[in-house]
């Protein structure tokens, strides 16, 4: 099974695809969809949609796992992040993917074994679990791989957390 992990953001959206082979996790691809600071919000959303669509078309994941919103310093940031997350979910849903969501705490628990782990701990464990030669960069790509790993480990219980398809 191929799992697309998504770490949504308005300026940088991370993605990572892993494949499960028995108990092994194999990295397929990872990276970020970057938008320019000068871009309007609608242009950012369009670029996120196009980027997620491109990744899906090139690598054919079976499911998508998206990081849930957990904390924002202000309401406007939370709204914009929620909108970016919605765009990513719509892109995955348009391609028929089942979509699952995981809180950052759940992702950290699955990857590191500790829900309050630091970012660097998560990055190092993503590297180790996927047998990568280096810590995945940028951080958003590493986070997306962590979301994919979380789903791969939670698959038996994942049906409970499934979002309804659009």
User: Known catalytic residues?
Assistant: 7, 67, 140
Q: What strand order describes the sheet that includes 24-34?
A: 24-34, 12-21, 2-7, 63-67, 98-102
- Beta strand 24-34 with 12-21 is antiparallel
Buried b (16+ CB within 10 A) or exposed e, 59-70: eebebbbbbbbe
Structure tokens at 26: 């194999």
Q: How far apart, in whole angstroms, are the C-alpha atoms of residue 63 and residue 130?
A: 18
Q: How far apart, in whole angstroms, are the C-alpha atoms of residue 122 and residue 3?
A: 18
Q: How far apart, in whole angstroms, are the C-alpha atoms of residue 6 and residue 101?
A: 10
The full DSSP string for 101-120 is EE-HHHHHHHHHS-TT--HH
């Amino acid at each position: 099974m191929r799992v697309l992990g998504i770490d949504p953001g308005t300026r940088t959206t991370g993605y990572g695809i892993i494949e499960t082979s028995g108990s092994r996790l194999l990295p397929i691809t990872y990276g970020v969809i970057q938008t320019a600071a000068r871009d309007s919000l609608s242009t950012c959303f369009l670029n996120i949609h196009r980027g997620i669509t491109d990744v899906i078309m090139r690598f054919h994941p079976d499911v998508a796992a998206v990081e849930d919103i957990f904390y924002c310093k202000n309401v406007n940031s939370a709204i914009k992040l929620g909108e970016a997350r919605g765009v990513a979910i719509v892109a995955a849903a348009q391609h028929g993917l089942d979509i699952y969501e995981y809180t950052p705490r759940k992702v950290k628990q699955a990857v590191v074994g500790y829900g309050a782990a630091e970012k660097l701990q998560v990055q190092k464990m993503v590297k180790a679990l996927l047998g990568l030669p280096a810590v995945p960069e940028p951080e958003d790509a590493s986070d997306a791989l962590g979301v994919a790993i979380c789903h791969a480990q939670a698959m038996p219980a994942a049906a409970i957390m499934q979002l309804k398809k659009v």
